Chain A
Amino acid sequence: MSKVFRQFSVLVLLFFGMWFTLSKFDFVRAFEVEEFTKSNERRLGRLVLDGLYSENSALQSDSVLSFVRGIQARLCAANDIPDSTITLHILIRGDVNAFALPDRQLVVYTGLISYCKNAEEFAGVLAHEIAHIERGHVMKKLVTHVGISMLMTIAGGDAGPDISRQIVTLLSSTAFDREQENEADAFAVKMMAGANIDPEHFANFLFRLSQEKNTIPKHFEWISTHTNSQERASEVLRLKKSERFDSLAIADTAAWASIKRSMRDF
């Protein structure tokens, strides 16, 4: 029996010794794994965005753009997220929706801005989508639903034009898995608290969605992709208790009303 243990020990030592020794080699840099992934994500992001802009127009209002970018900058700055790496796109569309695209791109429809009761609610949705970007959920969702080989084909430009449209549909109108949604909610609460924005507004937004769930018009995309809103609102409120922050308003009621009013012009 001692022979068995002796030989087993040698085998285990050999295995872990080889693993440990090999792990000292910088494979990630040598094989340019990160760069390879990033360049494909960049190409994919560009293709998807082209598909999106072929069907929607960008909002041209400087005041709205700078207002929304200001919220994004505040959330990012307070949480050590490089704001300039996230590209914001505001598109004129009545759907109540916002979603993240590959290559750290964030799309907001004007319908969402019109729907939010105050700037803090809107900041909550924005923080939630930035969380998906920060946690790398977008590419993981694509890999799960589309598959790596298909994504490589698309990134290589060998797929048809309909494909990028289908990816937009996938990212804008299907949900992330529950674990990822919860992770994004938790991250959003931290981001909001870090930026001194009360996460309760985000909970209010989610709660309102759950209340209007049965009466929602079909263009309330964000609701259909973010189910269990009531449960999530409760969780946001629970998470809020462990955060310390001074609630500082983003904009007063009149300023937000003015932003919403300007939506009607488009």
Chain B
Amino acid sequence: MSQAPGYAHTPDEYESEKASNSYLMSLVAIMVGLPLPVVNVIASTIYYFNNKRSPYFVRWHCTQALLAQIIAFGVNAAGLYWTLSIVVGSNTITNTYIAYIVTIVIFNLVEFVATIYSAVRTRKGEHVVWWFFGALTDTLVKR
């Protein structure tokens, strides 16, 4: 995660608030959606589509937030499915399972911190680029 120093555009107050909200949206949805991992993706998707015609800065950050949510959803859904297969199915608790849960907890925490950081920075009009998600967003969002 980094702040792009060479980012030429200086977003106005409206753009900064909208871009920051895209991260806040996923945060609030995480609180509401626990333990179901799908609510934050739905919230981010709705917010993304609502801002499809917004300025570049807003669209860019909505996309980055959505992409991060989609990957997190996949990883968390697998964890939930695995847990359910133990609770109601015939699987048992193994070291591999616990290691997976610990791994996704760590990744979720990192994403949680990055989301808060990005929400604060983008609110100040700074362009925050995440590892991989930023590069992917660059290829998807055109000016």
Chain A residues packing against B (C-beta within 8 Å)? 1, 3-4, 7-8, 10-11, 15, 18-28, 31, 33-34, 135-136, 140, 143-144, 148, 180, 183
Contact = CB atoms under 8 A, between A and B. Distances in A.
Interface in B92-136: 92-96, 98-100, 102-103, 106-107, 131-132, 135-136
A25 B132 CA distance: 29
B113 to A, nearest CB: 16
A23 B93 CA distance: 12
A1 B98 contact: no
B95 A8 contact: no
Contact of A26 (B88, B95, B132): B95
A183 B95 CA distance: 25
B132 A23 contact: no
Interface residues of B, number: 22
26 contacts: A3-B135, A4-B139, A7-B132, A8-B132, A10-B131, A11-B131, A11-B132, A18-B103, A19-B100, A22-B103, A23-B95, A23-B96, A23-B99, A23-B100, A24-B95, A25-B95, A27-B95, A27-B98, A28-B95, A136-B90, A136-B92, A140-B87, A140-B90, A144-B87, A144-B88, A183-B90
A148 B88 CA distance: 11
Interface of B: 75, 87-90, 92-96, 98-100, 102-103, 106-107, 131-132, 135-136, 139
Given A18-B106, A27-B102, A140-B90, 13 more contacts: A4-B139, A7-B131, A7-B132, A15-B103, A20-B99, A23-B95, A26-B95, A28-B95, A33-B98, A135-B90, A140-B87, A140-B89, A144-B87
Contacts of B131: 7, 10-11
Contacts of A136: 90, 92
A4 B139 CA distance: 9
